[in-house]
Amino acid sequence: MNEFGNSFLHYVTDRPYIDRDDLLVVGKKSAEAARPFLAEWEKLGLISFLTANRRLSALADEIKTASLQNPLRIVKGVVVELTGLCNLNCRHCLKGGSHPEEYGLPAETIAEALKPLLRAGINEIEFTGGEVTLRQNDLFTLIDFVKDYLLLEHERPFKLGEMFDDLFITHNGTVKDPKEFLLRLLPFPGIRLQVSLDTLDPASMEMNRQRPGLFARVMYLAILSQQLGFPKHRVSFVLNSALREPDKDWEADFCAPFRQRLGMFPYIIQLGNAVKNGLPHTDHFYCGIPQPLGFADLSPGKPNMCGWCHGYVKPKEIYIRPTGSVGNCPYAYGLPEEFGSLSDRPMAEILNNLQRSLPYQLFTTGAIAEAAGQMDSTAFPGPFASSCEPIVLAHCYVQLFRRYQAAGDNEVIARAKATLETARRYKYPVGKYAEQEIR
C-alpha cells in the first residue's frame, strides 16, 4: 500500500481530478501501474465495477485514458501573489505599479487553497506580489503552514504529496529589517530568495525603480545573507537584458561571490508601466523568433510563447491573486474572469471544473484566435517579443466584448468598449477608432 497514493487515478473524466474522498493526486501512472490496486480501491469503495465480470485490465486502460485527458496532470507548482501593494513604481512594471485596493487574501484563506495542491504533489511554491515583504507576518505564517503540513503528510500512510526542495520568495530587496528577515528564514533549508535587480549599474537601476540608494540596500541584503550562513544558491538576482547598459560589462565588475547567481529575463513585457512610459521591448526575442510578433501571428498550431499559449488548457502553474482569482499566468491579472474565484468556491472545486471555465472554453473553441483578428492596432501597436502580450490582450478583449454584447450593446459599440477597457487595464493608449465609435 505504500504505492497507493502514487498510482491512484480517476477513471471517469467528469469525476473530480483532485479532492476525491480526501485522496488527491495528479494522475501520471500507466495502466500497468494502476492494475495491482484496483481490487483494493473497490474494497475501499473508491471505485465500483459496472458488471461483476468486468475485466480489471479494461478498467485500468480506462483510467489511463482519463488521466491523459486531465488538464491538471502537468501542474507542478503554485504562485501566490500575496498582495498587490508595492513600495516602488518601476518604469517597466508589467502590472502598472502598486494596487492599493489589493491588500490580499487572509493567510487562512490562502492556506486552505494550498491544501489540495500540496496533497496533489506540487513540487514548487512561489510567494510574490506586488511586494511580498509588505505582508511579512502573513508570509511567515504561510511558510510555517507549508512546512508543518508537509511534515504531517510525510507521516501519513497514504501520503500523496511529495516533499519538495524549493519555496521561492520573489521580492525587490527593500525589506524593512534585512537581518530579522533573514534570521527568520535561515531555519528553512528549502527557501530561495529571488531579488529583482534589473541591471548591475546602480544609477540605471535606481532611475528605473525611482528609489535612490536601492542598489546599496539590495547589496547589503546579499552580503548579510552570506555572513549569516545562507548558501550561495539560496539568494539570486534577476536582471533584464533590455535594461542593461549596452557599452558596459557590469557583470565583470560585479563582486565575485554573486556572479554565479544571476538570472536573465530577455525582454520587457509590453504591459503596464512599460507601455505607459514608452519603453522598448528589446532586440532579443523569445526562443529564436526572428522578428516581433503581432496579433496576426497568433495561431493554436504554434508553439508556446512563439505564437500561442497552451497554459490555459494545460497549466503548469496555478496562480492565486490578491483578489482571490485563480488563474495560470502572471500577465492575466487584467482578465475579467479566470478559472474561478476563491470568494465563490474552494480551490478543489475550481480545479475540478477547469474544463468548464471561460478561459478553457475560449482557447479550445478558437475564440481567442478570432478575437486577435479584431484587435485595434492603433490601441495595441506592439511589437511584441513573445506571444504573451498579444494573447492576454486578445483574451481580455474577447471576454469584455462578450459581456458588453450580453448587456445589450450592438457589435460596434461592444468592440469599442472592449478595446477601451482592455487598454485601460493594461495601460495602453486609447485608439482613435474606439473613441469615435463610442461617441
User: What pLDDT was estimated at residue 26?
Assistant: 37
Cα–Cα nearest to 384, from 323, 318, 295:
295
Could you list the beta-strand ranges (E) of 305-344: 317-320, 325-327, 340-341
Mean pLDDT, all residues of the chain: 79
Whole-number Å distance between alpha carbons of 121 and 24: 8
Whole-number Å distance between alpha carbons of 359 and 368: 9
Label the pairing between strands 317-320 and 325-327: antiparallel
Give the predicted TM-score (pTM) of the model: 0.83
Range in 33-37, 154-158, 290-294, 320-324 with the lowest mean pLDDT? 154-158
Average pLDDT over residues 232-249: 69
- Inter-CA distances, 66 with 37, 69, 104, Å: 17, 5, 36
- In degrees, rounded to 5, the angle at the alpha carbon of residue 242 between the alpha carbons of residues 425 and 385 is 60
The more confidently predicted of residues 312 and 4 is: 312
Dihedral sign of CA atoms 377, 297, 243, 175 in order: positive
User: What pLDDT was estimated at residue 41?
Assistant: 65
pLDDT over 80 (residue 316): yes
Whole-number Å distance between alpha carbons of 27 and 41: 15
The more confidently predicted of residues 367 and 56 is: 367
Whole-number Å distance between alpha carbons of 17 and 55: 23
Whole-number Å distance between alpha carbons of 392 and 372: 10
Whole-number Å distance between alpha carbons of 389 and 132: 24
Q: Which of the four pLDDT bands, split at 50, 70 and 90, describes residue 395?
A: very high
CB 387 within 8 A of CB 293: yes
- Inter-CA distances, 49 with 53, 57, 415, Å: 8, 12, 52
Residue 97, sorted as left (phi over 0), alpha (psi -120 to 50) or beta, turns out to be left
pLDDT over 90 (residue 359): yes
What number of other Cβ atoms are within 10 A of residue 331's Cβ?
A: 23
Whole-number Å distance between alpha carbons of 148 and 292: 47
pLDDT over 80 (residue 342): yes
Residues in a beta bridge with 308: 304
Average pLDDT over residues 149-170: 60
Q: Which of the four pLDDT bands, split at 50, 70 and 90, describes residue 24?
A: very low
In CATH terms, the superfamily for domain 77-287+302-352 is Aldolase class I (3.20.20.70)
Q: Which of the four pLDDT bands, split at 50, 70 and 90, describes residue 2?
A: very low
Task: State yes or no: cis peptide before 36, omega within 30 of 0.
Answer: no
Whole-number Å distance between alpha carbons of 241 and 197: 11
pLDDT over 90 (residue 73): no
Radius of gyration of the chain (CA): 24
State the residue for C-alpha cell 494522475. Answer: 27
Average pLDDT over residues 198-202: 82
Range in 40-44, 128-132, 176-180, 303-307 with the lowest mean pLDDT? 40-44
Domain edges within the chain: 4-69, 77-287+302-352, 366-438
pLDDT over 50 (residue 159): no
User: What pLDDT was estimated at residue 426?
Assistant: 96
pLDDT over 60 (residue 31): no
Residues of the chain with pLDDT > 90: what percent? 42
CB 318 within 8 A of CB 75: yes
Q: Which of the four pLDDT bands, split at 50, 70 and 90, describes residue 122?
A: confident
User: What pLDDT was estimated at residue 306?
Assistant: 84
Residues in a beta bridge with 191: 167
pLDDT over 90 (residue 162): no
User: What pLDDT was estimated at residue 226?
Assistant: 85
Residues of the chain with pLDDT > 70: what percent? 71
User: What pLDDT was estimated at residue 303?
Assistant: 86
Q: Which of the four pLDDT bands, split at 50, 70 and 90, describes residue 241?
A: low
The more confidently predicted of residues 213 and 42 is: 213
Q: Which of the four pLDDT bands, split at 50, 70 and 90, describes residue 6?
A: very low
pLDDT over 60 (residue 152): no
According to DSSP, residue 112 is labeled H
User: What pLDDT was estimated at residue 32?
Assistant: 55
Range in 98-107, 154-163, 418-427 with the lowest mean pLDDT? 154-163
User: What pLDDT was estimated at residue 97?
Assistant: 94
